[in-house]
């Protein structure tokens, strides 16, 4: 017996082709939800650290979608923590103020004047923008600086770089308190030394340190590249999954080099600290967080610890 066509029950005046298309679209949406359900169940209650950067921060449409994704993660039971930088925004304001930036080994030399601009941009502008975008969907996000509640303690990396810091200690008490209140911490990456001197710290490094201290289930990096590529000129050479030992081999072979090294170091620190997996994602893809977390086909690079060694034969 042939199954009945649901469009046969509709009045003749209705455009059957249009209704059939609507039914097909609804079936596709239902399929997406069914695919996502086991992942939602698996990650319910898990802490995920999201390092937010690149064009996803600058493009208004992508920024709004990022906020939607973070709220959705929160709504289905995950505990997102957002960590952000703001290098392009800092550079833009410095140029508008007529302040020349100097870079050494990829790091901005940060004198007292530049530090004031960095704090103004990161804490007073970028952080507030992210918090506001999330809070459009409800009173959920709370903005923090690494200086708040002694979260990030650091020392000056190199006097020639000025007020650029290396992390010496992390205290996630304030983050855990906010998470326990079902809020979303949004962290800007200004820390302080033991004397209270503010220091600008690499956002990738802060994200990795916080993820390790929180023992997050996942850390997700949003940037302007699709992930790790064996050939930087060939997007098809994306490495979908890689272990820590394989990462070291890629560094030795020169596949990972230059500006990618600090990001990878932060990833390795997170995995060593107990984070189950780290994901490098292209933040220019709309809803990339949801695609990576809740679908069968991950679209970035996933970094995991080495598998345990097999037991020795007696």
Nearest one of 225, 207, 221, 224 to 269, comparing CA atoms: 207
Give, for 303, the enclosing helix (H) or strand (E): strand 301-304
Is residue 15 scored above 90 in pLDDT? no
Say if CB 125 and CB 117 are below 8 A apart. Answer: no
Catalytic residue among 69, 162, 165, 263: 263
- The pLDDT assigned to 8 comes to 56
Task: Give the model confidence (pLDDT) of 55-70 as tens digits.
Answer: 778 888 999 999 999 9
Is residue 314 scored above 60 in pLDDT? no
CATH of the domain at 123: 3.40.1160.10
Catalytic residue among 54, 86, 143, 162: 54
Instruction: Supply the angle between the helices 203-214 and 260-272 in degrees, to the nearest 10.
Output: 10
- The pLDDT assigned to 28 comes to 56
Out of 79-93, 127-141, 145-159, 228-242, least confident range: 228-242
- Check if 148 is active-site: no
Domain count, the chain: 1
Tell me which range, 206-210, 247-251, 253-257, is most confidently predicted by mean pLDDT: 206-210
Nearest one of 276, 62, 221, 298 to 290, comparing CA atoms: 298
Let me know if residue 39 belongs to a domain: no
Catalytic residue among 53, 85, 86, 87: 87
Is residue 176 scored above 90 in pLDDT? yes
Let me know if residue 37 belongs to a domain: no
Is residue 26 scored above 80 in pLDDT? no
Let me know if residue 284 belongs to a domain: yes
* φ, ψ for residue 219, nearest 5 deg: -125, 130
Let me know if residue 196 belongs to a domain: yes
Let me know if residue 143 belongs to a domain: yes
Let me know if residue 248 belongs to a domain: yes
Tell me which range, 129-133, 201-205, 249-253, 262-266, is most confidently predicted by mean pLDDT: 129-133
- Check if 51 is active-site: yes
- Check if 116 is active-site: no
- Check if 204 is active-site: yes
Task: Give the model confidence (pLDDT) of 184-235 as tens digits.
Answer: 999 999 999 999 999 999 999 999 999 999 999 999 999 888 888 888 888 8
- Check if 111 is active-site: no
Task: Give the model confidence (pLDDT) of 264-277 as tens digits.
Answer: 888 999 999 999 99
Q: Tell me the average pLDDT of the chain.
A: 87
Let me know if residue 26 belongs to a domain: no
* φ, ψ for residue 33, nearest 5 deg: -65, -40
Tell me the whole-structure pTM to 2 decimals: 0.86
The range of the structural domain enclosing residue 53 comes to 45-304
Counting residues of the chain whose pLDDT is more than 70, the rounded percentage is 87
Catalytic residue among 69, 129, 148, 204: 204
CB proximity list for 225: less than 8 A, separation 6 or greater: 280, 282
- The pLDDT assigned to 41 comes to 87
Give, for 116, the enclosing helix (H) or strand (E): helix 112-121
Let me know if residue 133 belongs to a domain: yes
């Amino acid at each position: 017996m042939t199954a009945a066509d649901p469009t046969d029950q509709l009045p003749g005046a209705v455009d059957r082709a249009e209704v059939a298309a609507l039914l097909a679209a609804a079936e596709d949406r239902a399929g997406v939800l069914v695919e996502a359900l086991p992942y939602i169940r698996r990650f319910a209650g898990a802490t995920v650290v999201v390092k937010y950067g690149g064009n996803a921060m600058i493009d208004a449409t992508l920024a709004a979608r990022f906020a939607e994704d973070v709220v959705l993660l929160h709504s289905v039971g995950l505990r997102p923590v957002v960590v952000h930088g703001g290098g392009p925004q800092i550079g833009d304001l410095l140029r508008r103020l007529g302040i020349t930036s100097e870079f050494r080994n990829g790091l901005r030399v940060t004198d007292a004047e530049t530090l004031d601009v960095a704090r103004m941009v990161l804490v007073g502008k970028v952080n507030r923008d992210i918090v506001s975008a999330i809070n459009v969907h409800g009173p959920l996000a709370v903005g923090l600086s690494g200086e708040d509640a002694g979260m990030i303690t650091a020392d000056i990396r190199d006097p020639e770089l000025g007020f650029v810091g290396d992390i010496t200690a992390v205290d996630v008490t304030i983050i855990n308190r906010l998470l326990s209140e079902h809020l979303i911490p949004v962290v800007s990456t200004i820390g302080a030394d033991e004397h209270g001197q503010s220091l600008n710290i690499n956002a990738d490094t802060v994200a990795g340190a916080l993820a390790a201290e929180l023992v997050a289930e996942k850390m997700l990096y949003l940037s302007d590249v699709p992930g790790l590529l064996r050939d930087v000129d060939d997007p098809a050479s994306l490495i979908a999954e890689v272990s820590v030992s394989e990462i070291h081999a890629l560094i030795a072979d020169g596949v990972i080099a230059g500006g990618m090294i600090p990001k990878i170091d932060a990833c390795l620190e997170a995995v060593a600290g107990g984070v189950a997996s780290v994901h490098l994602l292209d933040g220019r893809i709309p809803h990339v967080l949801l695609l990576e977390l809740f679908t069968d086909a991950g679209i970035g690079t996933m970094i995991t610890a080495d598998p345990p060694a097999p037991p020795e034969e007696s």
